[in-house]
Amino acid sequence: MTTYDEIIVSDDLLIENNTPYKPAHRHSLAGTVSVNGSPSKKRIVVINRITMEYLAVTDSDAQTGLWKITHLPEYDEQSLLVLAFDDAGEFNAEIADFVSQVATA
C-alpha cells in the first residue's frame, strides 16, 4: 500500500507525502518538494510539534525533489512538523503540520 497525500502549502511550494507503508520496527518520512511545479532542492527539517524538539534534517534532491528521513523512533500520530526552507531567500519557508511517520522495513 502506498500513500500519495498532498499538502499544498502555497501556489509556489508543494510538499507531497509519498512515503510507502511497510510494517516494521523503524520509522521514516519521505516526500517531494517542488517550486512552481518543478522539482527543487530545499532543506527539510522535522520537528516534534508537541515538544518542539529538532528531530532530523535533510535536503531534497535537486533533480527529483525527493527527500527521505529514515531511522526515526515512533512518535504519536500527527505529532510532527515538516518544514521546507528556501536557502536562496526567494520564498518563505513552508510547513506541513500534523504529519505522521510510517513504519518501514
Q: What is the pLDDT of residue 22?
A: 46
- Listed by start position, the domains of the chain span 5-104
Please name the amino acid found at residue 33.
V
pLDDT digits over 54-86, tens only?
999 999 999 999 999 988 888 888 989 999 998
Positive or negative: CA dihedral 19, 15, 63, 73: negative
- CA distances 12 to 20, 78, 93, Å, are 25, 24, 11
Q: What is the pLDDT of residue 5?
A: 47
Cβ-proximal residues to 86 (8 Å cutoff; 6+ apart), any chain: 13, 35, 42, 92, 93
Q: What is the pLDDT of residue 100?
A: 85
What's domain 5-104's architecture? Sandwich (2.60)
Q: What is the pLDDT of residue 45?
A: 95
DSSP string of 62-89?
TTT-EEEEEEEPP--TT-EEEEEE-TTS
Cell of 73: 523512533
Cell of 92: 518563505
pLDDT digits over 2-44, tens only?
333 444 445 555 556 555 544 444 788 999 999 889 999 999 9
- pTM attached to this predicted model: 0.71
Q: What is the pLDDT of residue 13?
A: 57
Q: What is the pLDDT of residue 9?
A: 47
Q: What is the pLDDT of residue 26?
A: 75
